[in-house]
Amino acid sequence: MIDRDLPVTEDELHAYADGELPDDRRSAVEAWLAAHPDDMARIGAWRAQADAIHNRFGVVAREPVPARFDLDRLAHSTWPWKSIAAAAVIAFLLGGSLGWLGHDLIGNNVEAERGPFQTFTAEAVDAYNLYVVEVRHPVEVPAADADHLVQWLSKRVGYPLRAPDLEKLGLKLVGGRLLPGPTGPAAFFMYEAPSGERYTIYCARSNAPDTALRYNDIGKATAVYWANNEVAYVVSGKGDRSRLSDVAVAAYEQIDRARAPSKDGGG
C-alpha cells in the first residue's frame, strides 16, 4: 500500500509535469501543489519549456539519420575508429544544438519562451522597472480615488477589474495608471510596503490560454504570470521569491473570486 502522506519528492514533481506520475500518488501530489504555489509555478515552467523544445525541434527529431552517420554501417567497417568518430560527431552536433537551445530558449526559468507568456511578462516587468523608481509620479490616479481608478481601467481594458486588498501582507495600494499593452490597453496597479518595497499588478485582455501561476525571473525583477478568462495578469517585484509568491497568490485568489461573466467594465 502506498502511503499518501509521504512527502512529495522532486522526482514526483517532474513525473507529474510529464504526465507519468502513478495514479496512487496523484491526489497527494495535487494536494501538495495546491498548498505550494512555488512548486505549481515550477511545473508550469517545466511544461512550457518542454512545449517550446517540442515546437522548435520536434520535426527535426523525426527526420531520418543521414547515411554518413549510420552507426550500424560504420560499426561493421574494417576501421573501428570510424564508428567512434561518427558517434563523436553526433554527440557534438546534439550537444551543440541542445546547448544553443538552452541559450536561446531557457534563460532564467522560461524567460525566453516564445509566445504570449514571454511577451506579456516582458511588458509587465518593463512597466515595473520604469515606474517603481518614481517618487513623485509613480501613478496617474492615486489610491484615494481607487473606485474611479478601477472603473476607468475596467472600461478601457474592456473587462471588470479589481485592485486586490493586500494589506494583510503589509502592502497598501499606491494607485494605478493606463498603459499600452501587447494587444491593447493594459491596467497597472502599484502597491507599497512601509519599508518602501513595491509590487505591481499588470493586466490586459489576452488571447493566451488559461494557465496556472508561472514564475519568471527577468534581470533585476521577478514576476508571476497567469491567464484566466481572456485576461492575463503579471505580479512583479524584487527580492525574495517566497514573498512575491505570497503577493501573487493573494492577488490571484481575490481576482479569481471576483471574476464576473460581464465584459462591461462600466464607469
Q: What is the pLDDT of residues 157-172, one digit of tens each?
A: 999 999 999 999 999 9
Phi, psi of 219 (to 5 degrees): 60, -125
Same domain for 137 and 229?
A: yes
Domain-located, residue 16: no
Same domain? For 204 and 241 the reply is yes
Is position 31 within any domain? Answer: no
Q: For the sheet containing 231-237, what is the strand order?
A: 141-142, 172-180, 185-192, 198-205, 231-237, 221-228, 211-218
pLDDT band of residue 23 (cuts 50, 70, 90) is confident
- Identify the pLDDT of residue 110: 39
Q: Are residues 226 and 129 in the same domain?
A: yes
Same domain, 59 and 146: no
**Residues 183 and 162 reside in one and the same domain:** yes
Residue at which a domain ends, from 105, 125, 160 = 105
Same domain, 51 and 180: no
Query: pLDDT value at position 53?
Result: 64
Question: pLDDT confidence of 66, banded at 50, 70, 90?
Answer: low
Q: Which of 50, 84, 105 is the last residue of a domain?
A: 105
Predicted pLDDT of residue 267: 44
**Distance between CA atoms of residues 209 and 65, nearest Å:** 36
Q: Do 57 and 120 belong to one domain?
A: no
Least reliable range by pLDDT among 44-53, 75-84, 251-260 = 75-84
Residue 252 predicted with pLDDT over 80: yes
Radius of gyration of the chain from its Cα atoms, rounded to whole angstroms: 23
The phi, psi pair for 152, rounded to 5°, reads -65, -50
Strands (DSSP E) found in 132-251: 141-142, 172-180, 185-192, 198-205, 211-218, 221-228, 231-237
Per-residue confidence at 225, pLDDT binned at 50, 70, 90? very high
Q: Which of 74-83, 94-103, 216-225 has the highest mean pLDDT?
A: 216-225
Tell me what pLDDT residue 120 has: 87
My answer on whether 97 and 153 are in the same domain is: no
Residue 241 sits in the same domain as residue 141: yes
Question: Residue 33: its pLDDT value, please?
Answer: 83
Return mean pLDDT, the chain. 77
pLDDT in tens, 98-131: 443 443 333 344 334 446 678 888 899 999 999 9
Structural domain includes residue 35:
no
CATH number at residue 150: 3.30.200.100
Q: CA 86, 92, 98: angle at the middle one, nearest 5?
A: 135
How much is the pLDDT for 98? 44
Q: What is the reported pLDDT for 106?
A: 36
Instruction: Note whether 225 and 120 are within 8 A (CB).
Output: yes
Asked if residue 142 belongs to a domain, the reply is yes
Pair 127, 236 in one domain? yes
Average pLDDT over residues 198-214: 90
Q: Is residue 66 part of a domain?
A: yes
How many structural domains does the chain have?
2
Q: Is residue 32 part of a domain?
A: no
67 and 153 in a single domain? The answer is no
Q: Compute the distance between CA of residue 215 and CA of residue 42 in angstroms, rounded to an integer.
A: 7
Confirm whether 21 is domain-assigned.
Answer: no
Which pLDDT value is given to residue 210?
A: 84
**Structural domain that includes position 57:** 40-105
Q: What is the mean pLDDT of residues 3-20?
A: 75
Q: Which of 37-46, 147-156, 208-217 has the lowest mean pLDDT?
A: 37-46
